[in-house]
Structure 1
């Protein structure tokens, strides 16, 4: 399927010189997936809602100060390849070009809606994210913002004092309250108002009750619920307990599943691939395969490597966080680490991944030994 069948020429556009106050108001009134930014009519980048969740953004700043590059796609590109570049670019919107000219946009929603019928073949258990970042009801909005930034996520489940699912806080919830409250204030009052907002507990802004899914539900049914309710993710709970958090399913997880391949070598997907410096995709794939080979009874179904850049730098090289996640026949295995530059960060994360793989191998070996011992004892 070509992206031309689902892309749209109906999009919101602002100039690089537009004030961020207006950009905020557009998100508040029209709730777009993102906004295309142009410079004298030429494509310059995009602004997403997540970027506005920053405590020190001045409304008088220009749109050019916050735009980010998004992967460019052609109207003739295949939908699976577009899904890949959206995931690897860490964005939910991409500009669509025709003969070198900006023609329109494509978003995750349009892609998922187009492939919906095909998603009935897989269950949530096949693609969900097992490791979940959560907050408690009394966590301040400022702390939640830091978590969203640090982990490059757009939502966090909220737990009550008993550790049960209580609600969900998203970038949309936070942007909504920041825009609404700050717009009411005069220029001189805004600094104090923002500080007050950051001290509000997430309980006051979270959405509740939370829409959930289960491991056995089809991905098609889960995605239908997301699209109908404009959710970007669902909390995954056990069949018999909808207050226990066992994972999360996001639209990005579904897009990632669309890119799975049956290639001879392991398929590695990289989010924020533009941060790679002295390391390339082939190096990353080879190094992960070498680690996985140390547990030969385990097969990797899919591997995902995500890089995230921090503001801190050492002699001009940014501090990078790297997370490696493997979906294997033995469950999900992950490793994370930080370093200056993508290669150093990846190596630290790879060391942690290797320890986790070997630990899992030893646990499985111990279980097999105990099983053999119990069978022998039963024969006595």
Structure 2
């Protein structure tokens, strides 16, 4: 299946001179996955809602200040699996589709998932969900939520009560929506000072509840259908029979990532925010992970995911990088995280932590091997 069957020529766009305040209003009114920015009818980049939330740029600034020009450019003849990889590694839910050098349309995460939905029946949630979860307490303030979202480069945070039980969910969309409504009230003179007090608001006052959940035994197809029906981009994974304990998170991006798994002899490695790589290459990362894995012949790694995120702090111009390595193996998921100045240092710290976590898993009974049914289904399309 190539992307020509999935992409659309209908999309939301704004001129590069448009104010960011107006762009926020467009997200509020039309709720697009992303907005294409053009300069004299030429493609200039893409703005996502998460960018707006994480940006400190004033609303009077122009859209071109925030437009991401490094979002992957998709050709209309690209294979769906390659496009899935490009979206995940580009950290975006929408990308421009070109016919030659001409902007033809866009492709979205949702459109790809809809196209392959029936083939997701062969995967279960526990094969692909993320078991490392950042949570909030009900009385944590909105400022803390925003910091957690930025620091961990994520889009949603489960909220738990004083007993650690699932109580709600806060997402980047919720916060962006609340910020727009607050600014609109201020402009009308209804409640001056709201912006200053907004960051002190308890997340309990704006979280979504009840929360949509899924168990690890259910199929990924069921999970994606539930996301589409609820209008959510992620579900909280709970133990079977207990819908108030948080075992993990399953997002549309996790599902998209699963589409990139391969059955090749070489280990499949995927890197989110690949633009942060400086003195280390994709092949260096793959070789280093493979070296760790090869020490433990009884552990079979099906997929490796490396996520990089950049902090504001710098040392002699080199940014502080947070790196997370996650392996999907026949023994479950194993992760390692680390920080350092530059992607190479951060990756090495995370790799050392990963190896220590691998050692701790010795003796754990292996789970059922991943058989690759999804890949065979996709190859039949």
* TM-score where L is the length of structure 2: 0.92
**Displacement of 1:356 after TM fit?**
1.1
**Aligned counterparts of 2:38 and 2:192: Cα–Cα separation in 1:** 30
Kept in 1: contact 2:331–2:364 (CA 8 A): no
**Aligned counterparts of 2:85 and 2:296: Cα–Cα separation in 1:** 28
**Displacement of 1:325 after TM fit?**
0.4
State the match for 1:46 in structure 2.
Answer: 46
**1:209-252 alpha-carbon deviations (Å, 9 max, x no partner):** 00100001111011011112221000001111000010111000
Identify the structure with the greater helix proportion.
1
Question: Equivalent residue of 1:156, what SS?
Answer: strand
**Which protein is bigger by CA-based radius of gyration?**
1
**Aligned counterparts of 1:318 and 1:44: Cα–Cα separation in 2:** 26
Q: Given the alignment of the two structures, is residue 218 of structure 1 paired with residue 251 of structure 2, yes or no?
A: no
**1:24-57 alpha-carbon deviations (Å, 9 max, x no partner):** 0000100000101112222111111111214733
Q: Given the alignment of the two structures, is residue 337 of structure 1 paired with residue 334 of structure 2, yes or no?
A: no
**Aligned counterparts of 1:213 and 1:96: Cα–Cα separation in 2:** 33
State the match for 1:351 in structure 2.
Answer: 352
**Aligned counterparts of 2:271 and 2:55: Cα–Cα separation in 1:** 28
State the match for 1:197 in structure 2.
Answer: 198
**1:291-347 alpha-carbon deviations (Å, 9 max, x no partner):** 112222111111100111112222222111110001111121111111111111111
**Aligned counterparts of 1:204 and 1:118: Cα–Cα separation in 2:** 39
Q: Given the alignment of the two structures, is residue 236 of structure 1 paired with residue 237 of structure 2, yes or no?
A: yes
State the match for 2:249 in structure 1.
Answer: 248
**Aligned counterparts of 1:162 and 1:51: Cα–Cα separation in 2:** 33
Please, which moves more after superposition, 49-58 or 292-301? 49-58
Change over 3 Å in CA distance of 1:314–1:187 after alignment to 2:
farther
User: Any unmatched runs of 5+ in structure 1?
Assistant: 366-380
Kept in 1: contact 2:72–2:95 (CA 8 A): yes
Query: How many residues are paired up?
Result: 364
**Displacement of 1:172 after TM fit?**
0.9
Change over 3 Å in CA distance of 1:340–1:173 after alignment to 2:
same
State the match for 2:379 in structure 1.
Answer: none
**Aligned counterparts of 1:150 and 1:222: Cα–Cα separation in 2:** 27
**Aligned counterparts of 1:53 and 1:273: Cα–Cα separation in 2:** 21
Q: After superposition, where does 1:121-200 map in structure 2 within 5 Å?
A: 121-186=122-187, 192-200=193-201
State the match for 2:89 in structure 1.
Answer: 88
State the match for 2:374 in structure 1.
Answer: none
Kept in 1: contact 2:186–2:192 (CA 8 A): no
Kept in 2: contact 1:294–1:358 (CA 8 A): no
Question: Equivalent residue of 2:127, what SS?
Answer: helix
Change over 3 Å in CA distance of 1:305–1:347 after alignment to 2:
same
**Aligned counterparts of 2:191 and 2:296: Cα–Cα separation in 1:** 56
State the match for 1:312 in structure 2.
Answer: 313
Question: Equivalent residue of 1:236, what SS?
Answer: strand
Q: Given the alignment of the two structures, is residue 27 of structure 1 paired with residue 27 of structure 2, yes or no?
A: yes
**Displacement of 1:171 after TM fit?**
0.7
Question: Equivalent residue of 2:113, what SS?
Answer: helix
* RMSD of equivalent CA atoms: 1.7
**Aligned counterparts of 1:268 and 1:43: Cα–Cα separation in 2:** 30
Question: Equivalent residue of 2:324, what SS?
Answer: strand
**Aligned counterparts of 2:192 and 2:357: Cα–Cα separation in 1:** 45
User: Any unmatched runs of 5+ in structure 2?
Assistant: 366-381
Please, which moves more after superposition, 38-47 or 205-214? 38-47
**Displacement of 1:154 after TM fit?**
0.6
Kept in 1: contact 2:87–2:94 (CA 8 A): yes
